[in-house]
Amino acid sequence: MHAPVDPSPGGAAPHPFAKPKTHRETYEFLIRQVLRAGTYSVLLAVGLIFAHIIIKGVPVVFTTKAPFINTNFLTKLPETLHVIEDKQGKIYETSPQGSDVIKKELGGNMRSEKTISYSGGGILGPIVGTALLVLVCMVVALFLGIASAIYLSEYASHGKFIEGVRLAILNLAGVPSVVFGLFGLGIFVLSAPVLTDTPHERSLFSIPLGFTYMSFQGWDTCVLSGAFTLAFVILPVIITASEECLRAVPQGFRETSLALGATRWQTIWRTVLPFAMPGILTSSILGIARAAGETAPIMFTAALAFKDKLPWQGDSGFFGIFTQSVQALPYHIYTIAARIPQSEYSERAQYGSVFVFLVLVLMFAITSVLLRRKLRAKYQW
């Protein structure tokens, strides 16, 4: 990178014999300020957006009384909000169950009742759903991504195959996320293999295994489908980041290891990966942020607008957590921002969810940036 050649030409203290500024200099100064204004206005726009969300979101998530956090909002499932007004103009906000009680109490004194879908309760369901999706997605993406990166940096030599892989990575990175959604729908939801005794009629084909069938009928909309789709969305990011970290390990380490008689695999496992792994993981956190933020890929593969149970509150056991659809934060935001009529009550739920979502995603991103900076300083060869 160029160090600025001449950081401040006009910065010296003015002295009485200074030449007056020429037109050229004024012009240059102006151009420079225009460029600077352009740069800072982008940051300003983003800053304003953040400020807006924080100003509107903080009152929803935090309270003025101890414990200062609106625990209901973070620990309850979304539900329909009932707003009841009595004849004295007093307004009650309550859950569907609470509304019956209040209505009975008020009797003839009730003036009006409004219901606002999804805007009551909290957002625990969407948070848990997003966490599950991201968890599974990271396992899949890291496994595939690191393995591909090891091949690219440790094994591959020049050739058609390697060129093909690089081209594929490049193109995958450019595929619109909604097309990944279609891909996930077609492959994971509708035709991935499952073990079942009774193949579904939409099954592409089923292979008898003796005791059961392996049927290519798909996993339906569930956490697994969504997480696998997300994994392929962020795969290019993970591969590129991992390869960069692997290549940053000095060649001398490998040569030393090989010279001592270690095999290729031993070299990778014992000398390359231990040094590359921290870097790989931190750069991948940025992938997490991306995966958590994507909406389009999970729209048809995993997300559900409303669900009144947490994933583990079913009776389908541990594996059942991953084979059911869940609510997800980005999809929840889309639902309450665009698919229900707007009112002051839905606005509160919107800003609260957006604030929490942004905080979660940015926490990942900041961690990644800070850790990466620290690691770079630590591993200097």
Whole-number Å distance between alpha carbons of 136 and 133: 6
- Rule CB under 8 A: say whether 239 interacts with other proteins: yes
- Rule CB under 8 A: say whether 9 interacts with other proteins: yes
CA nearest to 361, candidates 335, 338, 331, 329: 329
- Rule CB under 8 A: say whether 169 interacts with other proteins: yes
Residue 96 or 186 with smaller CB distance to other proteins: 186
Whole-number Å distance between alpha carbons of 350 and 329: 11
Which position among 21, 26, 45, 105 is part of the footprint of other proteins (CB under 8 A)? 45
CA angle 260, 261, 267 (to 5 degrees): 85
Q: Which residues pair with 114 in a beta bridge?
A: 83
> Helices 124-150 and 344-378, interaxial angle, to 10°?
30
Span interacting with other proteins, options 12-20, 45-53, 71-79, 118-126, rule CB under 8 A: 45-53
- Rule CB under 8 A: say whether 58 interacts with other proteins: no
Which position among 232, 242, 321, 348 is part of the footprint of other proteins (CB under 8 A)? 232
Q: Smallest gap, in angstroms, from Cβ of residue 317 to other proteins? A: 26
Provide CB contacts within 8 A for 50, sequence distance 6+. 358
Omega prior to 67 cis, within 30 of 0? yes
- Rule CB under 8 A: say whether 34 interacts with other proteins: yes
The bridge status of strand 193-196 relative to strand 213-216 is: antiparallel
Amino acid of residue 249: V
Span interacting with other proteins, options 69-77, 95-103, 148-156, 319-327, rule CB under 8 A: 148-156
The helix (H) or strand (E) run that includes residue 9 is: none
Which residues in 359-378 contact other proteins (CB under 8 A)? 361-362, 364-365, 369
- Rule CB under 8 A: say whether 151 interacts with other proteins: yes
- Rule CB under 8 A: say whether 31 interacts with other proteins: yes
Which residues in 291-330 contact other proteins (CB under 8 A)? 292-296, 299-300, 330
- Rule CB under 8 A: say whether 350 interacts with other proteins: yes
- Rule CB under 8 A: say whether 16 interacts with other proteins: no
